[in-house]
Amino acid sequence: MTAPLRLMAVHAHPDDESSKGAATMARYVAEGVDVLVCTLTGGERGSILNPKMDRPEILANIAEVRRQEMERAREILGVRQQFLGFVDSGLPENEDEELPEGCFAVQPLQVAAAPLVAAVREFRPHVILTYDDDGGYPHPDHIMTNRVSVEAFEAAGDPDRYPGTGDPWQPLKLYYHMGFTKERFEALHEAMTERGMGSPYAEWISRWEDRPQKWEVTTRVQCADYFDVRDRALLAHATQVDPDGFWFVCPTDLQAEVWPTEDYHLARSLVDTELPESDLFEGIHAADTADTAACR
């Protein structure tokens, strides 16, 4: 008998796990993979983005409300979830605006990474998912999430680093989310236009040169059967997601037909694998799932 495969998804705020890689996680849970979401902040400074939830009593207690939303989303996805205790930095309105004192994004790297190193050493994941070095979009917490994820991947297996955070464990692969690519949105736009549905993506595509794609897609995970699970988890974050908004404009069945995968960039690998991949665990053999094998 070997230990189950383990997947860790590292996110900045509650709701990020449901908008990035949720169908992938749901698929792997259904296949018996142990999945842990690590949420670095509580989302305390998030705005209420759903007009139906924009009420004073909710805004006054937003941190607790977002924890409750996270718990509902966790149950829907079938994953474990752990808050790592940092405070949301908020999204500055301009580049010159100073971030709040003590927030996640202003922490020294070793302070910010220590709880994640401890989580890696406790959970012992074979694969870690995170954002690219631009954060997926330039929110300071997303950028810091990339930095601490890379730091944890590289440090957790070294017994001389981060003493007091558990026995060393070396993850085998690190991926960046690549869900927001021009290729994907062009395909959805064309499909919706051909069906006379109208598309919300034309403006995005026209402005794509402002954000050229930095990383190539190396890995496409077939997970269309779990798009409905993804959407239910996303809707559980009711303060952040408008059910009549952008996320749900393209019908799920059309998404499944046109773009049935969630996509990733393989940023680090300690195992041999052949690109392109269709499985995050490609190259990780049964022997590597034993608790003694990946501590290298």
CA distance 252 to 232: 12
Cβ atoms of 84 and 40 closer than 8 Å: yes
CA distances from 225 to 25, 132, 231, 261, 276 (A): 12, 26, 12, 10, 21
For 190-205, b where at least 16 C-beta lie within 10 A, e where not — what string?
A: ebbeeeeeebebeebe
Following CA atoms 28, 11, 205, 210 in sequence, which dihedral angle do they give, to the nearest 10 degrees? -140
Tell whether 242 is in a known binding site: no
E-assigned strand segments in the chain: 6-11, 34-41, 80-86, 127-130, 173-177, 219-222, 261-269
Tell whether 16 is in a known binding site: yes
Tell whether 13 is in a known binding site: yes
Cβ atoms of 87 and 32 closer than 8 Å: no
Parallel, antiparallel, or unpaired: how do β-strands 261-269 and 173-177 relate? antiparallel
CA distance 107 to 134: 18
Q: Closest Cα to residue 84, out of 53, 46, 122?
A: 122
Token pair recorded at residue 242: 């408008």
Enter the DSSP assignment of 277. Answer: B
CA distance 96 to 86: 23
Binding residues for Zn(2+): 13, 16, 142
Binding residues: 13, 16, 142
